[in-house]
Structure 1
Amino acid sequence: METLKSARGQIPNALSLPPRWLHMYSDFITKNQSSVTQIESALRSLTYIIPGRFRDAELASESLHSSIQLLSMYHDTLLTRAIAKLPGMPRQQSPHNRYTKFWIQKSRFYRRVATLLAMIQYTELLWEMMAKRKGERIRWRVVVIIEVVKAVCRLCLLRITSSRPLVTPALPEREVIPEEETPTSDEEDEYLLSEEEAPVRPLQKKEYKMKRTGLSLPSLPNPGDISSYLLSKVLTADDIKAPNALLNKVNGSAQFAEILHILQPVIYAIAMSRSKDKKNWQPWLLGLSVEYAARQLRKDGLRTTALEREQWGKRGWAMGWWAMRGAFYENVTKGFLHRTSEKLPSLISGVLDDYLYLWDGYYFSTSSN
């Protein structure tokens, strides 16, 4: 009986361990943001340098890469929550983060759909690799299904935001948490120097926290850099806009263009799945024509905001990936890259050959959506 009672008493303690561990992990990530970011970048760079893809171990390598991306997304969530709880004056944010944070806080459905879309984008190549082991027919079926799910998610985001253009990424990007600075021994020794010998430093090193309100006053600038400090504090028109006004609503031909942009990957994937010849130009021309038509229908107007210009710039650069897809890659780019690989040193050509292996055999390796 005593053993049974002791076992029952240990059950609540065991159940409380996972939440406690998650809380400890969250505190560790929040307090060591810079170190965690460096580790993530190093691991991500390693998977890029060795696209792993070691051919035989491509599945394991891509699993590692996808896991790093998903873990980084979880870290972004933890850091966003930590920043929201920080006291002090309102912090300047990018238009993209202001816009996405507004919709995440306003709509729980937006947050769920945007998170699902990000998770699919981080794992889509892994799903394709797994499907390819069961045959080309299964592989293309999985590719089309993934593109359809992504298109449905984007249409839902378009609906939730009241027909505002999509932003990439749909979730806020990582922000830096201001770290508290402790005086070092060198700084303490400077108090012993005369005013002429002491180096020029900001008049106020730490933020002053007001006792009653709990708000923090920002630190004063370096006397020799006042102009750039003042320029950084100047408010623009977008800074005083409401977050949902950072993107204009689309209607008419512009709304049709946005829907066409969302459906373009689905149309191209279906065309590629039905084409038996990789060098066939029809799927490539169809996909590029749909994207070009969407871009022409949605031309920049006089009321274009800075966030819209930023997103359209990203879409413009993303069109460069068409040189790495379909018939254009098979007939033009592939031969050029293989000839270039033969002329490069063995170390560089080895990395390039690994990427060529991916570009030759996988649809999502050159996907920009």
Structure 2
Amino acid sequence: MYSDFISKNQSSVTQIESALRSLTYIIPGRFRDAELASESLHSSIQLLSMYHDSLLARAVSKLPGMPKQQSPHNRYTKFWIQRSKFYRRIATLLAMIQYTELLWEMAAKRRGERMRWRVVVTLEVVKAVCRLCLLKITNSRPLVTPPLPERDVIPEEEAAEDVEDEFEAEFAAEEAGSRPAPGAKKEYKMKRTGLSLPALPNPGDISSYLLSKVLTADDIKAPSALLNKVNGSAQLAEILHVLQPVIYAVAMSRSKDKKDWRPWLLGLSVEYAARQLRKDSLRTTALEREQWNKRGWAMGWWAMRGAFYENVTKGFLHKTSEKLPSLVSGVLDDYLYLWDGYYFSTSSN
């Protein structure tokens, strides 16, 4: 019953999840008086959302007719989930750790800094092992983020019924000799097969309509071919990318001074070396470029970590907070408290 409810009310469920997730970011005192309770709520919402994704994926797989065009990321991850149960379990474990890692760190910090860093290093080691397993399962193909498919959009029954009513009304109007209103929908979902007849394009926009229907090279590739196998220096780059969080966490746990530049320089150097060892070629796929672009943007978080944050960013943000209105500065101060005291608050892996 719960699965049917989620699949029939996807848009409403997604909106509720987004609202609750946003609430955990803006409620007063999120990271001070009730930090553990608030982060527990946030992690629970993330885990529930992941469970809903699995229910919706199951519902999509049961839909009749040809599947809709999917993103390369979803095609690739679904292929490996269906092919390997081990991949599905490892990817699910990795996602669960990423959703709850800050909560684990908050709980460990209450027992002292030594326990906190033990938990941080342990979680980073477990995540690295999971990623190395995924690298092995996919036959040395680059890792994707996230490792699980993103949420699919499925047609809700009410929307389908509305389309049928509109089509029948238009059909009756045409039979009576009248013309439908400009811009009216002509999409119709066939009851037996479940396939939908596409809406007619605007006469002035036929070129764009035709271009949107053109298949690209990636659309006809096998899902496993959406990412090329890595070898040599490219394989070393992928391994360094996996091990970099572990190296940085160990260095931070052994550093007694937050303003010490050595752990920060070590972690950034390993990440930079991983990017330099990667080789671009004519065989680079769109999904591969997308993943490396994500990693490039994620490097911006180094401005919020370790010595760079303590020596540069922190002072700038505190001065900025003093100049902002009280409502905005209150929210920023809560995040400053989070960034000041927790490793996983700025983790991008």
Residue equivalent to 1:311? 291
2:34 equivalent among 44, 52, 57:
57
Deviations 1:121-155 (A, max 9, x none): 00000000000000000000000000000000000
Unaligned runs of at least 5 residues, structure 2: none
Residue equivalent to 2:226? 246
Residue 153 (structure 2) pairs with residue 176 (structure 1)? yes
1:268 equivalent among 245, 248, 253:
248
Aligned partners of 2:236, 2:307: CA distance in 1, in Å? 28
Residue equivalent to 2:190? 208
Deviations 1:92-116 (A, max 9, x none): 0000000000000000000000000
Q: Are the aligned partners of 1:89 and 1:217 in contact in 2 as well (CA < 8 Å)?
A: no
Q: Are the aligned partners of 2:255 and 2:263 in contact in 1 as well (CA < 8 Å)?
A: yes
Q: Please tell me the residue identity of whatever aligns with 1:175.
A: D
Q: Are the aligned partners of 1:88 and 1:215 in contact in 2 as well (CA < 8 Å)?
A: yes
Residue 60 (structure 2) pairs with residue 86 (structure 1)? no
Aligned partners of 1:332, 1:289: CA distance in 2, in Å? 19
Q: How many residues align?
A: 342
1:219 equivalent among 198, 208, 211:
198
Q: Are the aligned partners of 2:80 and 2:87 in contact in 1 as well (CA < 8 Å)?
A: yes
* Aligned-partner SS, 1:114: helix
Q: Which has the larger radius of gyration?
A: 1
Aligned partners of 1:305, 1:355: CA distance in 2, in Å? 37
Residue equivalent to 1:18? none
* Aligned-partner SS, 2:258: coil
* Aligned-partner SS, 1:181: helix
Q: Are the aligned partners of 1:53 and 1:61 in contact in 2 as well (CA < 8 Å)?
A: yes
Deviations 1:244-274 (A, max 9, x none): 0000000011101100100000000000000
Aligned partners of 2:264, 2:162: CA distance in 1, in Å? 60
Unaligned runs of at least 5 residues, structure 1: 1-23
Residue equivalent to 1:115? 92
**Percent identity, aligned pairs only?**
82
Aligned partners of 1:298, 1:52: CA distance in 2, in Å? 43
Q: Are the aligned partners of 1:221 and 1:229 in contact in 2 as well (CA < 8 Å)?
A: no
Residue equivalent to 2:330? 350
1:198 equivalent among 175, 178, 181:
181
Q: TM-score, normalised by structure 2?
A: 0.93
Say what the alpha-carbon RMSD is for the aligned residues. 2.0
* Aligned-partner SS, 2:160: coil
Residue 133 (structure 2) pairs with residue 156 (structure 1)? yes
* Aligned-partner SS, 1:301: coil
Q: 1:54 to 1:250 in 2, by over 3 A?
A: closer
Q: TM-score, normalised by structure 1?
A: 0.88
Deviates more, 1:81-90 or 1:302-311: 81-90
Residue 304 (structure 2) pairs with residue 324 (structure 1)? yes
Q: Are the aligned partners of 2:248 and 2:264 in contact in 1 as well (CA < 8 Å)?
A: yes
Shift of 1:51: 7.5
